[in-house]
Structure 1
Amino acid sequence: MKKILIVEDDTSINHLLKEALTKEGYACDQAFSGTEAGMLLQMNSYALVLLDLMLPGIPGEEVLEQIRKSGTTPVIVLTAKNELQEKVDVLTGGADDYITKPFEIKEVLARVQVQLRHLSRAPEQAVLSHKALTLDRNTFLASISGTELPRITKQEFAILELLLKHPKQVFSKEDIFEYAWEEPYMGETKTLDVHISNIRKKIKTLTDEDYIETVWGIGYRLKP
């Protein structure tokens, strides 16, 4: 299930968007300020972000900048600003689309579908790498400086794959579990923690460098 972050300080609009998107089969997180959005973006990964610009706390433009620094997540801006130059500035600043308020919910849903369709068509890299660590998604091999990691499992490979696809992003345990096991996360963390520990041990057989960093209270990320 694709997860969408709704960043909108108007409570009624935020709830309206969540209700409509949920009916279409999307999972949704809600943020009512730029500060709250920034925290959620650090803890979770999203298929798409609906972003208002005029927010309390961190302005929407700064939230957009934060998203672009950490990856290529599609962003649709929702705003009452209607001047041409403002639209141009937002699009050149990293937004993928722009919808002016007031809007019809059908238009929002259609534009969300278009962005996600573009995302699904984007070709994925066959080889992912970070420092000396390389993952070959065609051969299902992980290696350090050309030497294969010993007996890597499907879930261990998937965990590394997710981290290498988004090297600057912090992932919650829920996000990692659902990506690697392809099933709903039920709150139990021991299984994931054991797999992370096993990955670290296997990497340590080939190098003293750490590749997975624990972000306390949130989850894990690739160590810079």
Structure 2
Amino acid sequence: MKNESKILIIEDDMLLNDMTKRLLTQHGYCTTSAYSGSEALLLIERSSFDLILLDLMLPGIPGEIVLEKIKNIIDIPIIGVSAKTDIDSKVNLIRNGADDYITKPFDNQELLVRIEAVLRRFQKSTTPNNSKILRFKDLSLDTEAMEAKIRNTPITLTRYEYLILQLLMSSPSKVFTKNNIFESVWNENFIGDDNAINVHIGNLRKKFAKVNPEEKYIQTVWGLGFKMQG
């Protein structure tokens, strides 16, 4: 993949922002720097980017709020950056829409690999599929328009929610292990951390329940994984 992607670096530490900018520029990325959440939101409204590096410990508007505001403006991959290493921070960040998380201080090579992986996943998930509508009970998934509906009520899905649901609905009677889901959706080897999968499955169930609380759609097969619930 050619490194022509445009990356917005949101980091209030001027030295770290500059170091990150130089690293990414050396590897062919086009970079723009922002030093606060308000500055970043203005840049996003005025320019287009392919990926955002978002520090969570920002002055003024907290990084978590900036993340929420960005996701309300545009669907763009975001990598959260923070010194927090606890699992709750990582899970909450993914639940709120981030695509990946890296802790400070980070290794330059790790940052580059994560950026490449997130861009690759985003490019793959936004490539149109052949026109096909998958159906299960009163749930339908248009794999060309990337839209889900229960009866005639549209359901807004994040990119990963859509990919997980598409996988499960492609073979409704099949039990997909967490390894199956992770490698199919994230296109990476599964190393046993299933928090991201559990978060997205939980979000899907909540969204379905808001539209049709009487029906169950995704079944947990204990010790194995998930399947569509018959």
Q: TM-score range by the shorter chain?
A: 0.5 to 0.7
**Matched residue, 1:16:** 19
**Matched residue, 1:58:** 61
**Matched residue, 2:115:** 112
SS in 1 for 2:70: helix
Give the structure, 1 or 2, with the largest relative contact order (CA under 8 Å, sep 6 or more). Answer: 1
**Matched residue, 2:95:** 92
Q: Which of 69, 73, 78 is 1:75 aligned to?
A: 78
2:128 aligned with 1:124, yes or no? yes
SS in 2 for 1:50: strand
Distance 2:10 2:130 in 1: 33
Going from structure 1 to structure 2, the CA distance change for 1:67 and 1:124 (only over 3 Å counts) comes to farther
SS in 2 for 1:112: helix
Structure 2 unaligned runs (5+)?
132-230
After superposition, the C-alpha distances for 1:19-38 in whole angstroms (9 at most, x for unaligned) are 11111111001001111111
Going from structure 1 to structure 2, the CA distance change for 1:125 and 1:64 (only over 3 Å counts) comes to farther
After superposition, the C-alpha distances for 1:56-101 in whole angstroms (9 at most, x for unaligned) are 1211111111121122200000001111111111110110000011
Q: Output the amino acid matched with 1:19.
A: R
Give me the TM-score of the superposition, normalised by structure 2. Answer: 0.53
What RMSD in Å do the two structures reach over aligned CA positions? 1.6
SS in 1 for 2:8: strand
Alignment of 1:180-199 (within 5 A): none
Structure 1 unaligned runs (5+)?
128-224
Distance 2:76 2:128 in 1: 14
Q: Output the amino acid matched with 2:74.
A: G
SS in 2 for 1:107: helix
SS in 2 for 1:103: coil
2:52 aligned with 1:49, yes or no? yes
Distance 1:61 1:55 in 2: 9
Distance 1:87 1:119 in 2: 20
Give me the TM-score of the superposition, normalised by structure 1. Answer: 0.54
Going from structure 1 to structure 2, the CA distance change for 1:70 and 1:12 (only over 3 Å counts) comes to same
